[in-house]
Structure 1
Amino acid sequence: MNIQLNDVSKSFGDQLAIDHIGFTINSGDICCLLGPSGSGKTTLIRLMIGALAADKGSIRVGETVMPNMNMLHKIGFMPQNDGLYDDLSGEANLEFFGSIYKLGKAGLKQRIDDVLALVDLTADRKKLVRNYSGGMKKRLSLAIAILHQPDVLFLDEPTVGIDPILRRQIWDQFQTIRAGGTTIIVSTHVMDEVLECDRAALIYNGRLIAYDTVTHLLEQTENGRVEELFLIAGREEAKHDA
């Protein structure tokens, strides 16, 4: 399922958070929203999932104009902060969210088994979430986000604060989910994570500085390093303000 943003803007009071952004995410791709903290990545995701309405422009997920409540069952969302119930087990958390998605009892049981296996939490399914490590909570949050087998998965800074080995494991899980046909949008400020993606949208001060395949973006740099894209962004920002 593809996503189309057409000249989207969003302000909070006098603060312009998203400034006339437009691009298309192809179905089945992993698209990275790359930018420093405060650049507008989270706001852009909230607009795409329909949690916020744009002030100007339009967003379509598939053929549906967002926001639209009927799209919730087709969208998975993993927020920056773990929205988990610490006094429940990992399995009970999944049962709770499965009931919200109105998954049938028999199907839910099998689906819980499947997602726990994918995120390597089967052995810890009965453990209270308060006793989970930070990395385990991240993986449980991912399991919840994909429980209802969404067509589109949004991941907001999913690897912040976790060690490099676990980060590699989580990205392997993203690739497995994508191989099943799910379109994935992931926001990050970790430079090397863009190399895991098909396309990248470079967001800087609420503006779309560049959007292209990762290969083409890196070809614009002198040394092939992702960090240089931000230097390009700074020069573009200076031109914009001149």
Structure 2
Amino acid sequence: MKEEIIRVKNLVKKFGSFTANDNLTFDVYKGEVFGFLGANGAGKTTAIRILSGLSSPTSGKLNVAGFDVYTETEKIKKNIGYMSQKFSLYEDLTVAENIRFYAGIYGISPKRRKEKMGELLKKLEMEKAKNKLIAGLPLGWKQKLAFSVAVFHEPKIVFLDEPTGGVDPVTRRKFWDMIYEAANDGITVFVTTHYMDEAEYCDRVSIMDAGKIEALDTPAKLKEKYNAKDMDEVFLRIARASPNPSEGGGQETITNE
């Protein structure tokens, strides 16, 4: 039986009269790569902020990594990692300083930090770059390092908010190899992306529109259900069928390279 690592039931988040999340219900399993898709303004980022303990829901029952989102947000934060499109790195710090900073936040001992840093730099082939400022690194290097830092403390879940924006297809594919490696190690990967080909890499995919989950299943079953050749076509058919297009975010950029 699959172990549930995230449980969401009837999640509602309102901002005044606007409902950003409208009765979301879904589960995510341990070690799963879970795709969380939707147009700009669909409510994805709002839901991620709630699941990360950064915002409170208006109503609903939510449990993340075994902790309640209403009363145990600090415990949630210690058991998750997070990477955004901005890579979550400090540009004016060196590679080593960024690693030490995040290791300190998560309470990793100096001895263990030193060991893990050496292993990480060797794995990323960045040993000669350890004293270089982040600002001077190629985009692909920043991306790999940001992900590695997000899982440095071995969290139960890592949230990736459009992590591959702006990088080339080859680098994106290498990044997904790192995602699979983390999932194989038991880390649950919760990822949003604008690249519909990346949705194919997920174990299951949720597609949101106007604050609601309109579809949730494996990519193969979604393509079968919507008689679509790829996930890009699935997404477009769901968006076109919606009577209430997403508000607040403008036109979505969908890319399928």
Distance 1:119 1:173, change over 3 A: farther
For residues 142-179 of structure 1, the C-alpha deviation after alignment (integer angstroms, 9 at most, x for no partner) is 12101101011110000011111110110111111111
Q: Within 2, Cα distance between the matches of 1:32 and 1:116?
A: 28
Equivalent of 1:70, from 64, 75, 79? 75
Shift of 1:224: 2.5
Q: Which residue of 2 aligns with 1:149?
A: 154
Q: Within 2, Cα distance between the matches of 1:5 and 1:119?
A: 35
Residue 197 in 1 paired to residue 196 in 2?
Answer: no
User: Matched residue of 1:227: which SS?
Assistant: helix
Q: Which residue of 1 aligns with 2:22?
A: 19
Equivalent of 2:168, from 119, 143, 163? 163
For structure 2, the residue ranges without an aligned partner over 5 or more in a row are 246-257
Q: Give the % identical residues.
A: 32
Q: Which residue of 2 aligns with 1:138?
A: 143
More helix by share: 1
Asked whether the equivalents of residues 228 and 234 of structure 2 are also in contact (C-alpha less than 8 Å), the reply is no
Asked whether the equivalents of residues 87 and 163 of structure 2 are also in contact (C-alpha less than 8 Å), the reply is no
Q: Which residue of 1 aligns with 2:250?
A: none
Asked whether the equivalents of residues 32 and 201 of structure 1 are also in contact (C-alpha less than 8 Å), the reply is yes
Asked whether the equivalents of residues 116 and 143 of structure 1 are also in contact (C-alpha less than 8 Å), the reply is no
Distance 1:34 1:118, change over 3 A: farther
Residue 58 in 1 paired to residue 61 in 2?
Answer: yes
Equivalent of 1:37, from 37, 40, 45? 40
- Amino acid of the residue matched to residue 190 of structure 2? I
Asked whether the equivalents of residues 73 and 101 of structure 1 are also in contact (C-alpha less than 8 Å), the reply is yes
Q: How many residue pairs are counted as aligned between the two chains?
A: 240
Shift of 1:87: 2.1
For residues 191-239 of structure 1, the C-alpha deviation after alignment (integer angstroms, 9 at most, x for no partner) is 1101111000011121100111222112113232112222332355229
Distance 1:176 1:123, change over 3 A: farther
Residue 183 in 1 paired to residue 188 in 2?
Answer: yes
Range that drifts further, 221-230 or 84-93 = 221-230
Distance 1:153 1:120, change over 3 A: farther
What's the TM-score, normalizing by structure 2? 0.87
Asked whether the equivalents of residues 209 and 236 of structure 1 are also in contact (C-alpha less than 8 Å), the reply is no
Q: Within 2, Cα distance between the matches of 1:63 and 1:146?
A: 18
Range that drifts further, 121-130 or 185-194 = 121-130
Q: Within 2, Cα distance between the matches of 1:49 and 1:239?
A: 27
- Tell me how large the CA RMSD over aligned residues is: 1.8
Q: Within 2, Cα distance between the matches of 1:48 and 1:117?
A: 33
- Amino acid of the residue matched to residue 238 of structure 1? P
Shift of 1:84: 2.2
For residues 41-87 of structure 1, the C-alpha deviation after alignment (integer angstroms, 9 at most, x for no partner) is 11111111111111011211143111521222211111222332222
Q: Within 2, Cα distance between the matches of 1:174 and 1:118?
A: 14
Q: Which residue of 2 aligns with 1:4?
A: 7
